[in-house]
Amino acid sequence: MNALEGEILEPETQFGESDKGANEASVRAGFWRTFKKAARQIPFAEDLVAAYYCALDPQTPGKSRAVLFGALAYFIMPMDAIPDFLALVGFSDDIAVLTLAIATIRSNMTDAHRAAARKALAEMDEDAQTG
């Protein structure tokens, strides 16, 4: 396991309980704003939004929620390994982190999470067309 995998797959060894709560609060506050900026650059947008809903679901196992909140918090941070404001490559590190996190917890993503993601994306498309 490389260092990046360790940070994602074993977040409870990296963060205390207060850090997990801070990640959740940060993700809730910044996910949609960052997602809207990056949506065109993310080839798996539906999976990402389903992962967001999976992380918020109290029925999702704690370890999976921690993995997702860690990856989603990394996604919304404007300054990370490759700053997000760099055209075309800015979200490439975020995509790598999110891909690994989603692959890790995929079995915890339910049809309800995917349906909520499709609905949210459809509403975003409607807003973009009317707004």
Rg (CA), the chain: 14
Q: What is the pLDDT along the chain (131 residues), one digit of tens a residue?
A: 434 334 433 444 344 444 557 788 888 888 888 888 777 667 788 999 999 999 999 999 999 999 999 999 888 876 655 554 554 556 677 788 889 999 999 999 999 999 999 999 998 888 777 76
| Cα 88 → chain centroid | 19
Give residue 96's pLDDT: 85
CA nearest to 39, candidates 75, 3, 80, 77: 75
In angstroms, the CA 96 to CA 102 distance is 10
